[in-house]
Amino acid sequence: MALSDRPAERHRQIAGTFTERARGTRSWDTPAPVAGWTARDVVRHLTEWLPGFLASGAGIDLPKGPSVDEDPAAAWQVHCDAVQAVLDDPETADRQFTNPHIGSLPLADAIDRFYTTDVFMHTWDLARATGQDDALDPELCAQLLGGMEQMEEVIRSSGQYGPRVAVPEDADAQTKLLGFIGRDPFWSTP
């Protein structure tokens, strides 16, 4: 299935895959590919950073669900549904997101660029940690990698990505993207 280029639909598709992996998780305390994280921490990351981002940049307060410690799948579902509601709201087309580091851009584009792509990449983390299908859309992998490689110095200095992991030169786009963001594409649960 090709991913949509419309932010609301792309979020629905990407978050839907993450939701499937969350529902398929049997042990939330299993280690994840991010050093020091568990499967639960992958959900914690995605549900905790976006609310402050949206509140400060667009004045949007997302509803809170159960804590990730209590019920990670339910916490994710409430959060995911809230983000989708923002994207599906016709008023969102006229809203702006403003941040001192990135300036102003349409709210849906900000969510798509910073959040939906984060969900996309962390889907691999959750899937790999929990032994589920970890295949990502190859076209989006190639697109993200192409854009990120052009900004490597900025990305590395942000502290949000680990050092690049070497991968074979003839690796597929997913493997190259994972290596670029500091993941060992061949990592497996210990």
**pLDDT one-digit tens code per residue, 96-132:** 999 998 899 999 999 999 999 999 999 999 999 999 9
Q: Structure tokens of 39? A: 């499967």
d(CA 24, CA 26): 6
pLDDT digits (tens, 9 = 90+) for 34-89: 999 999 999 999 999 999 999 999 999 999 999 999 999 999 999 999 999 999 99
pLDDT digits (tens, 9 = 90+) for 143-183: 999 999 998 888 888 777 888 999 999 999 999 999 999 99
pLDDT digits (tens, 9 = 90+) for 49-63: 999 999 999 999 999
Cβ-contact 130, 114 below 8 angstroms = no
The structural domains of the chain, ordered by start, are 7-135 (1.20.120), 136-184 (no CATH)
